[in-house]
Amino acid sequence: MKLLLAVAALLVVSEARPPVHHSFHHGNVTVECVGKCLDAPEAYHMPQVMRLKEKAFAECHAEGKCPLNLPSIKQFSPCTDGMSAGQYPCSNLDMMSYTSLSDMGSTGDGNDIWGWTDKPAQGVNIEYAIVGMADGTAFVDVTNPTEPIVIGMLPTQTFSSMWRDIKVYKDHAFIVSEAVDHGMQIFDLKRLRERPSGPGVHRFTADAHYAMVGNTHNIVINEETGYAYLVGSTRSGSGYRVCSGGLHIVDIREPLSPTFSTCYGGDGYTHDAQCVIYHGPDVRYHDHEICFAYNENTLTVVDVTNKENVVMLSRTPYVDVSYSHQGWLTESHEFAILNDELDEMYTSEKRTRSLIWDVRDLESPKHTSSFLSTEKSVDHNLYIRDNLAYEANYCAGLRILDIADIEEGASELREVAYFDVAPDWNTVSFHGSWSSYPYFASGNVIVNSIERGLFVLKPNYERIAELQKERMEKKNER
């Protein structure tokens, strides 16, 4: 909380302006948007966080470490005696390949990552990494994980930015960025089947562009409903609806014809979120569309089922909050794991802290316990698949946690695998792994390193299962 107050004090608050009035149509309903609905929040903390990161990136560039652009590695490099390819500390994760940022057409650093599986014929799965970079987005065929193929790159819509975020819906990539006036790029991923030829990395153009936002920090897509939630839009401009930095909701059911739906900024700035059709134990909200929003100093739960009447169900702070950054639900929708991006930097505990939340009551979520890593590192993005949590923890790399017994608290979580994509960095700082994508049918996991680029990794699922079995046996002996 001390950090949040300090950050707020550092922000330059814009001068008071007369109320702005705007109306727009949502279906047959005219929705009124007055004053702050159109503007950025008066005090939010992300600008200071971004300044901290920009300082770290600038220092890294000055030292010649960002980007590193080491030679790409197209060969299987097993994790042997705690090391892969002679330089990457690891456990139960093998490196299938590494592709440098320059080989993907970038002259800058890496950031977000997502995946797409093309199914051009029955029984055929072609897996692609969609790799965020400062100056654009690369598309890499990783179906053969030891022979990745760079298909091309979609340049940024306007300017380069260290912040780019990507999600996929109906075979289209939706891309946002903190770059000024960037808006949302939409790219038909089926175009990757054409495999353009020619020298160098092919430059694609976007198939459509959504221009009702300028900068946007993250994009959330609920594939079950066909709605996108653009969050962290802050810069006002002609035609922009920044929604107080909160949920800017877009109907993308027709991917190449996105339409603005509505705003929700009732809890101010949203850094990231996950929106789902809820099937957890709180029967009051079964089959409702619920967003779990990470709003800088809270976990905020919002019912977005009725786009004309979005309702906040709860907003919950927690002890030692520094910056509520991102999180993910268990598949049962009973629990969530939240990462606080700045607590390792500004509290006495430097080990990575993963906050466990009981969200079985959507109107009263509870932070129940915290899992502490053995490593001293800042945490960033995490995702959950089955009973494993995949955490991209900056300088500590990808860490995989067994969360099968999360109901019993953090004491029952165990780290079962890791791969350090930033062996040159061993500090509590903003270097190393930005994010991962663990949802391919192959079981391969892709990771984007800020300094290095794309890693394709293969967890040793057999050994992980053995570790899970051993843990259960020990538990039963208690």
Query: With 90 as the cut, is the pLDDT of residue 102 above it?
Result: yes
pLDDT tens for 124-142 read 999 999 999 999 999 999 9
pLDDT tens for 338-381 read 999 999 999 999 999 999 999 999 999 999 999 999 999 999 99
Q: What is the mean pLDDT of the chain?
A: 91
Q: Roughly how many angstroms between the first and final C-alpha of the chain, as a whole number?
A: 39
pLDDT at 29: 29
Measured CA to CA, the distance from residue 452 to residue 65 in angstroms comes to: 9
Confidence class of residue 329 from pLDDT cuts 50, 70 and 90? very high
Confidence class of residue 478 from pLDDT cuts 50, 70 and 90? confident
| Residue 411 DSSP SS3 | helix
Rounded to an integer, the average pLDDT of 298-326 is 97
Tell me what percent of the residues of the chain surpass a pLDDT of 90.
87
Q: Are 460 and 417 in contact (CB under 8 A)?
A: yes
Measured CA to CA, the distance from residue 1 to residue 340 in angstroms comes to: 12
pLDDT at 475: 85
pLDDT at 232: 97
Structure tokens at 31: 């929705």
pLDDT at 22: 28
Query: With 60 as the cut, is the pLDDT of residue 237 above it?
Result: yes
CA distances from 389 to 77, 201, 302, 417 (A): 23, 34, 24, 10
CA distances from 295 to 98, 126, 271, 333, 421 (A): 34, 36, 6, 19, 28
Query: With 80 as the cut, is the pLDDT of residue 13 above it?
Result: no
Q: Are 126 and 117 in contact (CB under 8 A)?
A: yes
Other Cβ atoms within 10 Å of 243 Cβ, number: 31
Structure tokens at 321: 């909050």
| Residue 270 DSSP SS3 | coil
pLDDT at 43: 60
Query: With 60 as the cut, is the pLDDT of residue 116 above it?
Result: yes
pLDDT at 44: 80
DSSP tag of 15: P
Quick one: 317 exposed, middle or buried, by C-beta within 10 A (0-12, 13-18, 19+)? middle
Which one-letter amino acid corresponds to residue 191? R
- Could you write out the DSSP letters of every residue in 437-475? E---TT--EEEEETTTEEEEEEE-HHHHHHHHHHHHHHH
Of 7-16, 60-69, 255-264, minimum mean pLDDT range = 7-16
User: At 447, phi and psi to the nearest 5?
Assistant: -135, 140
**Contact residues for 55 (Cβ-Cβ < 8 A; gap 6+):** none
Query: With 80 as the cut, is the pLDDT of residue 192 above it?
Result: yes
pLDDT tens for 216-229 read 999 999 999 999 99
DSSP tag of 73: B
Query: With 90 as the cut, is the pLDDT of residue 101 above it?
Result: yes
pLDDT tens for 393-437 read 999 999 999 999 999 999 999 999 999 999 999 999 999 999 999
Residue located via tokens 């509505």 = 262
